[in-house]
Structure 1
Amino acid sequence: MDRWGRKKTLIVTEVPLILGWLMIAFAANIYMIYVGRLMVGLGSGMVGAPARVYTSEVTQPHLRGMLTALASIGISLGVLIQYTLGSFVTWQVLAGISTIVPILALGLMIFMPETPNYLIGKQKPEKATKSLAKLRGSTYDVEGEVDQLQNFANKNHTNVKMTPKETLEAILSPSALKPFGILVLYFMMYQFSGVNTITFYAVEIFQDSGTKMDKNMCTIVLGVVRLVFTIIACIALRKCGRRPLTFISGIGCGVSMIGLGVYLYYKYQWDHAEPPIEPVNTWFPVACIFVFTITCTLGFLVVPWVMIGELYPQKVRGIIGGMTTCSAHMFVFIVVKTYPFLSSVLYQHGTFMLYGCISLTGCIFFYKCLPETKGKSLQEIEDYFSGRISTLKTKKGATALPNYDNNLNNTKPPIISVEKDKLLSS
Structure 2
Amino acid sequence: MEPDSNYKYGIKSTFSQCLALVGAGFLQVGVGTQLICSTVIIGALLDRSNENERLTMTIEQMSWFGSLLYLCTPLGSVFSSLVLDRLGHKNCMIITNIPYLVSQIIFFYAENVETMYVCSIMMGLGVGFSGGPFSAYLGEVCEPKLRGALMSATNVFFFSGSLLLTTIYAITRQWRLTVLANMAIPIITIVILCMSPDSPMWLLSKGKTEKAHRTLGKLRGWVSHDKCSNEFHEMVVFVSANKNSSNDKNEKNNSDSSWKQLMQPDVLRPFRLLLIYFFFSNLLSGVPFGPYLVEVFLTFGANVDAQWTVAFSLCISIVGGILTIFLVNRLGKRFLTLTTLSICSICYISIGLIGIYWTDSNQIKAWLLLICFFISTLVASFGIMPIGWILLTEIFPMKSRNITCSICSTLSFILSFFMTKYYPNVVYLVDFYNTFTIFGFGGLIGCVYFYFCLPETENKTLQEISEFFK
Pick the TM interval, shorter chain. Answer: 0.7 to 0.9
CA distance in 2, matches of 1:156, 1:332: 33
Pair 1:241-2:332 in alignment: yes
Pair 1:33-2:33 in alignment: no
Pair 1:261-2:333 in alignment: no
**CA offset digits 1:301-345 (Å, max 9, x no partner):** 210011111011111111110000001111111111121111111
Aligned to 1:408: none
Distance 1:280 1:91, change over 3 A: closer
Aligned to 1:102: 186
Q: Which runs of 5+ in 2 are unaligned?
A: 1-83
Q: Residue 87 of structure 1: CA displacement?
A: 1.8
Aligned to 1:12: 95
Pair 1:203-2:294 in alignment: yes
Q: 3-state DSSP class of the match of 1:281?
A: helix
**CA offset digits 1:175-204 (Å, max 9, x no partner):** 111111000000011112252235332221
Alignment equivalent of 2:228, drawn from 142, 146, 163: 142
Q: Which stretch shows the higher mean deviation, 335-344 or 206-215?
A: 206-215
CA distance in 1, matches of 2:119, 2:291: 19
Aligned to 2:158: 75
**CA offset digits 1:54-109 (Å, max 9, x no partner):** 01111100101111222211221122122212223311111122222222111111
CA distance in 2, matches of 1:326, 1:229: 25
CA distance in 2, matches of 1:28, 1:133: 52
CA distance in 1, matches of 2:323, 2:362: 38
CA distance in 2, matches of 1:383, 1:116: 21
**CA offset digits 1:366-395 (Å, max 9, x no partner):** 111111111101111112212xxxxxxxxx
Aligned to 1:156: 242
**CA offset digits 1:244-272 (Å, max 9, x no partner):** 111122111100000000111135x44xx
**CA offset digits 1:108-156 (Å, max 9, x no partner):** 1112121111122222211211221221233352333222211222233
CA distance in 2, matches of 1:16, 1:125: 34
CA distance in 2, matches of 1:375, 1:64: 8
Alignment equivalent of 2:264, drawn from 151, 173, 189: 173
Distance 1:202 1:173, change over 3 A: same
What RMSD in Å do the two structures reach over aligned CA positions? 1.9
CA distance in 2, matches of 1:245, 1:158: 37
Calculate percent identity across the aligned residue pairs: 28
- What is the TM-score with the length of structure 2 in the denominator? 0.77
Q: Residue 299 of structure 1: CA displacement?
A: 0.7
Aligned to 1:423: none
Q: Contact conserved, 2:103 with 2:122, CA < 8 A, in 1?
A: yes
Alignment of 1:24-423 (within 5 A): 24-89=107-172, 90-140=174-224, 141-157=227-243, 165-193=256-284, 195-267=286-358, 269-270=359-360, 280-386=364-470
Q: Quick one: which amino acid aligns to residue 121 of structure 2?
A: L
CA distance in 2, matches of 1:88, 1:278: 29
Q: Which stretch shows the higher mean deviation, 158-167 or 240-249?
A: 158-167
Q: Contact conserved, 2:301 with 2:363, CA < 8 A, in 1?
A: yes
CA distance in 2, matches of 1:215, 1:138: 48
CA distance in 2, matches of 1:159, 1:114: 24
Q: 3-state DSSP class of the match of 1:196?
A: coil
Q: Contact conserved, 2:354 with 2:365, CA < 8 A, in 1?
A: no
Q: Which stretch shows the higher mean deviation, 45-54 or 323-332?
A: 45-54
CA distance in 2, matches of 1:278, 1:285: 11
CA distance in 1, matches of 2:279, 2:315: 26
CA distance in 1, matches of 2:244, 2:447: 35
CA distance in 2, matches of 1:304, 1:41: 20
CA distance in 1, matches of 2:123, 2:259: 30
Computing the radius of gyration from Cα coordinates, the structure with the larger value is 1
Q: Contact conserved, 2:200 with 2:216, CA < 8 A, in 1?
A: yes
Q: Contact conserved, 2:258 with 2:403, CA < 8 A, in 1?
A: no
Q: Which stretch shows the higher mean deviation, 349-358 or 119-128?
A: 119-128
Q: Quick one: which amino acid aligns to residue 262 of structure 2?
A: I
Q: Contact conserved, 2:302 with 2:370, CA < 8 A, in 1?
A: yes
- What is the TM-score with the length of structure 1 in the denominator? 0.84
CA distance in 2, matches of 1:158, 1:86: 53
Distance 1:120 1:264, change over 3 A: same
Q: Contact conserved, 2:197 with 2:215, CA < 8 A, in 1?
A: yes
